[in-house]
Every structure is written in C-alpha cells, then in structure tokens.
Amino acid sequence: MANVILSAFNVIARSRTYETGVALPLDSSMIEAYLNLHDAPCEMHIFVESIFVLDNLLLDKVHKRSQ
C-alpha cells in the first residue's frame, strides 16, 4: 500500500506549480485529476491525507535546504 501511495504522490507532484522558483503546495484539484484516471488504493480520506502529508514533508525539506 505504501508503495502505491508513494507512486501516486510522484505522479501528482509532477503537476506542482512554482512561483518565482518556489514550489507551491499541492492542492486538491491535482489529487482529483489523478483520481479521475486511477482508483484510490485505499479509503479516499486516507489517500488524500497521505498525499498532503508527503507534500508537507517534501516542502519542509526543500525549505530547510534553501536556508
């Protein structure tokens, strides 16, 4: 299950937007676009929360590196 969620995050993160070189957080429309093509691998609320947690971890790591 973890592998499927991580793979989904990688696909969803490809649609990330940037503003003046700064990565913006993913939004629900990006997750929704993924779910229009793929089935959720678990309950919807768990999947969505997992994607947002992974995104927060990634953005925190990027912000720490840039300082």
Residue 56 makes CB contacts below 8 A (sequence gap 6+) with: 25
pLDDT score at 55: 98
What predicted TM-score, i.e. pTM, was given to this entire model? 0.91
Residue among 24, 23, 44, 21 nearest 34 (CA): 44
Tokens of 22: 């700064």
Which tens digits make up the pLDDT trace of 11-60?
Answer: 999 999 999 989 999 999 999 999 999 999 999 999 999 999 999 999 99
Q: Which residue(s) pair with 3 in the sheet?
A: none
- What residue spans define the domains of the chain? 2-66
